[in-house]
Amino acid sequence: MAQHNELGKRGEQLARNFLEKTGYKILSTNWRHQKDELDIVAIDGEQLVIVEVKTRSTDYFGDPSEAVGPAKEQFMIRAAEAYLETKHLDIEVRYDIISVILTGGNHRINHIIDAFYPE
């Protein structure tokens, strides 16, 4: 497996652990619908939370969350709508981003709640 794929998998695992420790219930990971993927789908209180995880080995070029632009947001919204339909859910949806910086054996997590809103 390519090194960047391993970095991403490690970041997603750290993000899942972080969410579980803060009381989120993980429903799905790496859920796919056609060409779209949701990294983490969780429940926080009465909300379904769609979480995009971005992992980098450095923040030299900015926070990893900055890599989530309008196109990625639209993919997430489309996939979330498919998730709701497939699972027959009628629940409020929130979109979060978790940035993970992995440097050596250390990591830093930044959780952005309500990172964007569907238009």
pLDDT grade for 2, boundaries at 50, 70 and 90 = low
Examine the pLDDT at 110 and tell me if it is beyond 90.
yes
Across the range 17-45, mean pLDDT stands at 96
- Residue 62: how many CB atoms within 10 A of its CB? 10
Q: Which of 112, 5, 108 is nearest to 49 (CA)?
A: 112
pTM of the full structure: 0.90
For the chain, percent of residues with pLDDT exceeding 70: 94
pLDDT value, residue 60: 64
CATH number belonging to domain 3-116:
3.40.1350.10
When the pLDDT of each residue in the chain is averaged and rounded to a whole number, the result is 90
pLDDT value, residue 3: 58
1-21 burial, b at 16+ Cβ within 10 Å, e below that, comes to eeeeeeebeebbebbbebbee
What CA–CA distance (Å, rounded) separates 73 from 109? 20
